[in-house]
Amino acid sequence: MHLQNSHALGPEYRLLQVPPPARTDHIKRKYLDIPYASISPAQKLDIYLPDEGEGPFPVIVSIHGGAFMGCDKADAQVEPMLQGLKRGYAVVAVNYRLSWEAKFPALVHDVKAAVRWIRANAARYGFDPKRIAAWGGSAGGYLAVMLGVSAGVKELEDLTLGNADQPSDVQAVVAWFPPTNFLKMDEWLAESGLGPQPGMEHSGPNSPESLLMGAQITQIPERVKAANPETYVSPAAPPFFISTARRMRRCPCNRPFFWRRNWNRR
């Protein structure tokens, strides 16, 4: 994915290149474009099951990235997760409302609704409702982390989306370069010597983070705090694997800051 500030193209950022479709023709058991809620056409998921066995299969919830504004559950971002089929995992790839359709916390409401749907339909598809892991990169990593740290936060759960009797917690998180504090991203980029590049500041009025929040993030610090995963970190969180890239301009994540300042103080 390549992101560009479209000063010459319009008032907002846009994705200039998106991943190709995932290669899934070889997967025998799959169920595609299943609605998990009914407010938006975006609220759909794809199910991939191992070729053999009836389960119950532990579940990988695959969450695509795309700067909160693009990409899809069926693009190539799901291919690493699909390797889990060989190890007896089911893979459920989810779409969610993007920033051009709905603002925070809609996307968090959506992925939590998807997890509740998975549990409600565990018997039908052979899922193990007690073993669900969230996995994503970039914006998908953000949502995977949010699933891991915000269990029980009422403001981040919209039970009207369905299956209100089911919990939305997960038992493990894999997150690749997730943003964990929107207001710190430019600072972390500067510390790493990568920028931010002029016109590509995360704190700018048309940045992906500001578009997600519906206002320039520097003008709404309390609302941004509610959107930052590090706000909710506690020892009650499940096991995490967070991977970052030293030269990642799009999604800087200060891993030591994220864990040391928040986990140990709770």
Find out whether 162 and 92 touch, Cβ atoms under 8 Å: no
Angle between the 106-120 and 139-149 helix axes, to the nearest 10 degrees? Answer: 60
**Whole-number Cα distances in Å, 58 to 33, 44, 87:** 21, 20, 10
Residue with token string 């169920």: 31
Alpha-carbon dihedral angle through residues 171, 262, 97, 160, given to the nearest 10 degrees: 70
- Per the document, the length of the chain is 266
CATH class of the domain defined by 25-251: alpha beta
Direct distance between the N- and C-terminal alpha carbons of the chain, in angstroms, rounded to an integer: 36
List, for the chain, all residue ranges whose pLDDT scores fall below the cut of 70: 1-14, 186, 188-190, 192-200, 245-266
Find out whether 60 and 92 touch, Cβ atoms under 8 Å: yes
- The two tokens of residue 178 are 């997730």
In 138-245, beta strands by DSSP E: 172-176, 240-243
Residues in contact with 61: Cβ distance below 8 Å, sequence separation at least 6, in sequence order: 92, 93, 94, 111, 114, 115, 118, 132, 133, 134, 135, 144, 147, 170
> Closest by alpha carbon to 188, among 244, 265, 142?
244
Residue ranges of the domains in the chain?
25-251
The three-point CA angle 179-185-190 to 5° equals: 140
- Three-class SS of residue 201? coil
Q: What pLDDT is recorded for position 186? A: 61
Characterize the bridge pairing of strands 127-137 and 57-63: parallel
